[in-house]
Amino acid sequence: MRAARARFSTRLGFIMAAIGSGLSLGNLWRFPYLTGQNGGGAFVLLYVFFVAAVGLPILISELMLGKLSQRNLVGSFKEAVPSASKYWSWLGGIGIFASVLVLSYYAVVSGWVIHFVVQGIMGAFSQGPEHAGHVIDSLREKGLLQVLLASVHLMLTATIVAAGVRNGIERWARFFMPIYLVVLVALVMHSLLMPGATKALRFLFYPDFSKLTGNAVIEALGHAFFTLSVGFGAMVAYGSYLKKDVSVPTEGVFVAGVDTLLSILAGLLVFPIVYSFNVQAGLGPSLLFKTMPVLFGTFSLGPLIGVAFFICLYVSALSSSIVLFEGVVSYLMDEKKMKRKQASTMLSMVTLVLAIISALSSTAFRDVRIGERGLFEIFDQVIINWTIPVVGLGISIFMGWRLTDGRKQEEFVDENSLSSVRLFPTWQLAIRWIAPGLLILMFLIQIFTSIFI
């Protein structure tokens, strides 16, 4: 029997939660460091292209699949098309697998954020740029502390999810997101007044295609998925909570647009600091944590705002983790007939064990490497550049070719919205040809580069 699903009480709740998952570590932390590593403008352009051409059509598909099937990703295929082969549900399994992996590695970075909140309260941001810049380096040398912080984060996430969707997601996201946006915009304005701002703008918006490597192209695609939370099944679970009268395409376009703007905002925040204080743009995962404390040391209210910033960043990381966690828990409840509490406990144990691996990648497992990459980077790349795009490809093929046109139209087109009528053929083209075509091309490039380069 299908359990009656809790519904979001208002549309605003969904939007805020969606912004919450958009305004998250992917945008603030991952986007700037990838842009820094991959040479700036050309990468940004490519990322925006992939969001529009691949991420958005698949995001809309995931939301639609959830809304029409009222199921999680694994069960959704059979529900949407009863004659669908059972192999489709395997794809759901891959999405669940990716969610578990991301949860664990996300927990480590969320743990870093907790550390910065605590350090900020203890005055680390008022001790000058030199000291502030070192907080992240010394944290990454302490494996056990990272494990501890990641476990605090996972326990908190599990507790909230065990308590149910409504209480968890809505209450948190609604309250914090507007505050976060205001803090962010104020900080960006401050950052843009720094001497390195012109160089930063040039770096971000002047595309130099000679800097674009094959790897950069793949990173841009993977990140488009990650940032939109697509390829995990989480958005299918989300779609299943949407009210009947919510227009999915409008929601998708809105979410993807906001998400992209937020990434650009994060770039405008971080790179002026990079160029004003000679931080290395290609520093990698530590970039945000190296630059922000420096910024907070430059004005009198900085240390206080710094604490507020990291608290907001943490809440957004928590809210994303809740979405991911909820996706897996709803799968365990629907398909494995587990109780919510039991599923939450089990999942938190599994992710904790996995989190230990990424937390120790910069200490005890420092020497476990494939080529240049440590465990943390391997985790990151396997999930984001391979696993979630595979799920995305499957979803686009299913929605493009397997679901009947009538069913699609019924879900997609809202008579009251002319734009949804106009958008339908474009989405259909994207989901049938453009997204799968680009994805297959990307996989071929990846295979080629990993064999020959």
* Nearest CB to ligand PFF, comparing residues 159 and 363: 159
Q: Which of 19, 20, 21, 423 binds ligand PFF (CB under 6 A)?
A: 21
Q: For residues 140-171, b (16+ Cβ closer than 10 Å) or e, as one string?
A: beebebbbebbbebbebbbebbbeebeebbbe
Within 8 A by CB and 6+ apart from 159, the residues are 344
CA distances to 30, 182, 194, 220, 398 from 34, in Å:
6, 25, 22, 8, 31
Q: Are 281 and 271 in contact (CB under 8 A)?
A: yes
Dist CA 94 CA 231 (whole Å): 9
As to burial, measured by CB atoms within 10 angstroms (0-12 exposed, 13-18 middle, 19+ buried), residue 374 is middle
Stretch near ligand PFF under the rule CB under 6 A, chosen from 25-33, 118-126, 353-361, 366-374: 25-33
320 binds ligand PFF (CB under 6 A): yes
Give the residue, chosen from 13, 20, 26, 120, that forms a contact with ligand PFF under the rule CB under 6 A.
26
Q: Does 232 bind ligand PFF (CB under 6 A)?
A: yes
User: Of the ranges 59-67, 146-154, 323-331, 363-371, which one interacts with ligand PFF (CB under 6 A)?
Assistant: 323-331
112 binds ligand PFF (CB under 6 A): no
List of residues 6+ apart from 1 with CB closer than 8 A: none
Helices within 170-301 (DSSP H only): 171-192, 197-205, 214-227, 234-239, 248-276, 287-296
Of how many residues is the chain composed?
Answer: 453
Taking residue 85's Cβ as centre, other Cβ atoms within 10 Å add up to 11
User: Counting contacts by CB under 6 A, is residue 324 touching ligand PFF?
Assistant: yes
Q: Cα–Cα distance between 143 and 139 in angstroms, integer?
A: 8
- 157 binds ligand PFF, rule: CB under 6 A: no
Query: Min. distance of Cβ 144 from ligand PFF in angstroms?
Result: 25
Under the criterion CB under 6 A, does residue 35 sit at the interface with ligand PFF? no
Q: Cα(355)–Cα(149) distance, rounded to whole angstroms? A: 10
**221 lines the binding site for ligand PFF (CB under 6 A):** no
Q: Which stretch binds ligand PFF (CB under 6 A): 2-10, 172-180, 226-234, 241-249?
A: 226-234
Q: Retrieve residue 148's tokens.
A: 């501890």
241 scored as a contact of ligand PFF (CB under 6 A): no
Candidates 279, 323, 329, 391: give the one binding ligand PFF (CB under 6 A).
Answer: 323
Nearer to ligand PFF by Cβ, of 234 and 308: the residue is 234
Q: Tell me whether residue 384 or residue 430 sits nearer to ligand PFF (CB atom).
A: 384
Least CB distance to ligand PFF at residue 227 (A): 4
When asked if residue 226 is in the footprint of ligand PFF (CB under 6 A), the reply is: yes
As measured in angstroms, the least distance from the Cβ of 105 to ligand PFF is 11
Is the CB of 275 or the CB of 331 nearer to ligand PFF? 331
- Least gap, CB of 219 to ligand PFF (angstroms): 14
Give the count of residues interacting with ligand PFF (CB under 6 A): 15
**Should residue 101 be labelled a site residue for ligand PFF when binding is judged by CB under 6 A?**
no
Residue corresponding to tokens 């009528």: 421
Task: Give residue number: closest CB to ligand PFF.
Answer: 26
Q: At what angle do helices 248-276 and 171-192 cross, to 10 degrees?
A: 40
Among 234, 242, 262, 439, binds ligand PFF (CB under 6 A): 234
Closer Cβ to ligand PFF, 326 or 411, answer by number:
326
Q: How many CB atoms lie within 10 A of CB 87?
A: 9
Contact pick of 19, 24, 104, 315 for ligand PFF (by CB under 6 A): 24
DSSP code of residue 194: S
Type and span of the H or E element at 436: helix 435-452
Residues of this chain, 172-201, that bind ligand PFF according to CB under 6 A: none
Task: Find out whether 265 and 185 touch, Cβ atoms under 8 Å.
Answer: yes
State yes or no: residue 396 binds ligand PFF (CB under 6 A): no
CB atoms near residue 282 (< 10 Å):
13
Among 18, 27, 64, 140, binds ligand PFF (CB under 6 A): 27
169 touching ligand PFF, by CB under 6 A: no
25 binds ligand PFF (CB under 6 A): yes
Binding of residue 328 to ligand PFF (CB under 6 A): no
What residue ranges bind ligand PFF (CB under 6 A)? 21, 24-27, 102, 226-227, 229, 232, 234, 320, 323-324, 327
